[in-house]
């Protein structure tokens, strides 16, 4: 079902189009003049606008310009009984999808409408896909486990998912907060709508406002075109705001308004847009501590924390580790084109007893490493990292306390220690650079500098 605005100064034509489009299953709004149409467009978004070219005091071209300025993804079909080559060319240059002549055949118009909506859907889908490019791979796509803590989470999600209530997911890095958000979306009545995720901690402070709320052409250097934000892209679906505690104060104000009034305004814009997306947020911080420290708005915290879902760390649900081990052994063996290896008893014991500061994400990395390094069809203790075997624990930093008699190259020694600590931070956080930077109490920029300095992975 699409949301369609029909604009025509002839009542009979409005009624004909309304009946035709409603019978096709669409939600239809009608207006008889330019002023009414512009007011409707300012109040909310439409998937498609069908407008007459001549509207008494106004023109369909005025409506076309307004749509392409405020909502570029919305398609526009021009309808007129007074066609000229000049008008057609002008309409197409301004971004109209097509130009239909009166009198038209009903089946002909249906085809044009269907193709316009298909293009609208493809544009929205491509935007979502582009946004997801570069996101880290999900360690699992479902909430695994039968431990009491996880059963409690599942029971809460069953109650929350069918509602439109805002949800705040808390828990340490790597516990599966995005999996919870996707589960809420899939279990709810918005499952056929987009699920759009953004890691607020990974977006530069100067760009996050534009990413969330969109911007108008010329609103800042480099804004060569208008762009809808993720609130608009999400439509009536779900917008997942990961690492919500990283949002800067000036953006927190706009988020609060979006939650309270269901309205947003693009950067550089002058009109409000209605938004319908459900908001699910997540954080690995204690937001109340952030509120007390003055870094997070108290009113926004209470708006987000209507329902809180806490994901327990893996050390609190050790009974679920065998399920993850089985899943990851199969997944990584399949990815590498190998037979699924078995675990020897000692390796299984070490994997079950480890505390996993990086949680499920760390466990996935450990198993992937083991599958890659093991010979044949058995994963033994030798395939596991030294931290799990108890070998070499702390040697990289403790070595600094025993200085050789012949002296040493202090800078090279300190560099080696720093590099090993950075690598350990990445291991503990499952390779997520923003989390590793936090673990080391570094700004992300400073952390990227060190990655480049030591040539560790990609600094991006």
43-65 pLDDT tens trace: 777 889 999 988 877 788 989 98
CATH 1.10.3470, domain 404-454, yes or no: no
- Phi, psi (deg, nearest 5) at residue 62: -65, -40
Per-domain residue ranges of the chain:
3-131, 148-312, 315-389, 404-454
pLDDT at 387: 78
pLDDT at 136: 42
pLDDT at 300: 96
pLDDT at 298: 96
The mean-pLDDT minimum among 191-195, 202-206, 344-348, 369-373 falls in 202-206
Mean per-residue pLDDT for 401-417?
A: 62
Residue 189: is its pLDDT beyond 50?
Answer: yes
Task: Report which listed range, 51-60, 308-317, 363-372, is most confident.
Answer: 308-317
Task: Report which listed range, 25-34, 134-143, 299-308, is most confident.
Answer: 299-308
Give the closest residue to 460 by CA, choosing from 438, 432, 440: 432
Q: What is the DSSP letter of 80?
A: E
pLDDT at 315: 92
Residue 394: is its pLDDT beyond 50?
Answer: no
Q: What angle do CA 6, 100, 35 make, to 5 degrees?
A: 35
Mean per-residue pLDDT for 245-267?
A: 93
- Phi, psi (deg, nearest 5) at residue 402: -115, 100
pLDDT at 17: 93
Residue 357 structure tokens? 């500061």
Q: How many CA atoms lie within 13 A of 82 on its CB side?
A: 7
pLDDT at 90: 80
Residue 396: is its pLDDT beyond 70?
Answer: no
What is 3-131's CATH topology? Rossmann fold (3.40.50)
Q: What pLDDT digit, counting tens, does each position of 66-102 carry?
A: 888 777 778 999 988 776 667 777 887 788 888 888 8
Residue 398: is its pLDDT beyond 60?
Answer: no
Percent of the chain with pLDDT over 70: 89
Please give the Cα distance from 412 to 400 (Å, whole number). Answer: 12
Please give the Cα distance from 168 to 177 (Å, whole number). Answer: 10
413 falls in which pLDDT band (50, 70, 90)?
Answer: low
The mean-pLDDT minimum among 100-104, 108-112, 230-234 falls in 100-104
457 falls in which pLDDT band (50, 70, 90)?
Answer: low
Element (H, E) at 330: helix 321-335
Higher pLDDT, 158 or 387: 158
pLDDT at 395: 40
Distances (CA, A) of 236 to 47, 48, 120, 308: 12, 16, 15, 22
287 falls in which pLDDT band (50, 70, 90)?
Answer: very high
Instruction: Tell me the pLDDT of the chain averaged across its residues.
Output: 84
Pick the CATH number of 315-389 from 3.30.70.260, 3.40.50.300, 1.10.8.60, 3.40.50.2020: 1.10.8.60
Q: Thinking of the domain 148-312, which architecture would CATH place it in?
A: 3-Layer(aba) Sandwich (3.40)
pTM score > 0.75 for this model? no
Within 8 A by CB and 6+ apart from 120, the residues are 2, 47, 48, 73, 74, 75
| 3-131 matches 148-312 in fold | yes
Residue 123: is its pLDDT beyond 80?
Answer: no
Residue 307: is its pLDDT beyond 80?
Answer: yes
163 falls in which pLDDT band (50, 70, 90)?
Answer: very high
């Amino acid at each position: 079902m699409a949301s369609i605005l029909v604009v025509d100064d002839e009542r009979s034509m409005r009624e004909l189009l309304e009946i035709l489009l409603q019978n096709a299953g669409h939600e239809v709004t009608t207006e008889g003049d330019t002023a009414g149409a512009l007011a409707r467009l300012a109040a909310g978004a439409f998937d498609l606008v069908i407008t007459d070219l001549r509207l008494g005091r106004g023109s369909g071209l005025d409506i076309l310009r307004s749509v392409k300025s405020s909502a570029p993804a919305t398609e526009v079909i021009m309808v007129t009984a007074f066609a000229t080559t000049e008008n057609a060319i002008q309409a197409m240059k301004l971004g109209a999808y097509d130009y239909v002549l009166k009198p038209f055949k009903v089946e002909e118009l249906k085809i044009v409408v269907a193709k316009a909506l298909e293009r609208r859907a493809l544009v929205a889908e491509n935007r979502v896909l582009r946004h997801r490019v570069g996101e880290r791979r999900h360690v699992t796509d479902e909430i695994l486990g039968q431990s009491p803590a996880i059963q409690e989470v599942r029971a809460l999600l069953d109650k929350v998912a069918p509602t439109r209530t805002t949800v705040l997911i808390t828990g340490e890095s790597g516990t599966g907060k995005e999996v919870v958000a996707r589960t809420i979306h899939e279990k709810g009545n918005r499952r056929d709508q987009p699920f759009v995720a953004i890691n607020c901690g990974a977006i530069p402070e100067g760009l996050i406002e534009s990413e969330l709320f969109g911007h108008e052409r010329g609103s800042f250097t480099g804004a060569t075109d208008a762009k809808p934000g993720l609130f608009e892209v999400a439509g009536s679906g779900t917008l997942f705001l990961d690492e919500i505690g990283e949002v800067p104060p000036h953006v927190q104000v706009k988020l609060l308004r979006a939650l309270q009034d269901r309205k947003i305004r693009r950067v550089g814009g002058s009109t409000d847009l209605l938004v319908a997306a459900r908001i699910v947020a997540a954080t690995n911080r204690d937001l109340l501590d952030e509120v007390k420290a003055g870094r997070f708005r108290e009113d926004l915290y209470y708006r987000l924390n209507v329902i809180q879902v806490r994901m327990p760390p893996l050390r609190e649900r050790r009974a679920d580790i065998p399920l993850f081990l089985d899943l990851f052994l199969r997944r990584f063996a399949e990815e590498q084109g190998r037979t699924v290896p078995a675990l020897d008893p000692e390796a299984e014991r070490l994997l079950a007893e480890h505390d996993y500061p990086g949680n499920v994400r760390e466990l996935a990395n450990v198993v992937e490493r083991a599958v890659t390094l093991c010979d044949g069809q058995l994963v033994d203790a030798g395939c596991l990292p030294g931290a799990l075997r108890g070998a070499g624990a702390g040697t990289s930093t403790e070595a600094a306390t025993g200085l050789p008699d012949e002296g040493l190259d202090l800078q090279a020694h300190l560099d080696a220690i720093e590099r090993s600590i950075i690598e350990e931070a990445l291991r503990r956080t499952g390779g997520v650079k923003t989390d590793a930077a936090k673990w080391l109490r570094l700004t992300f920029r400073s952390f990227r500098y060190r990655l480049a300095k030591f040539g560790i992975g990609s600094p991006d």
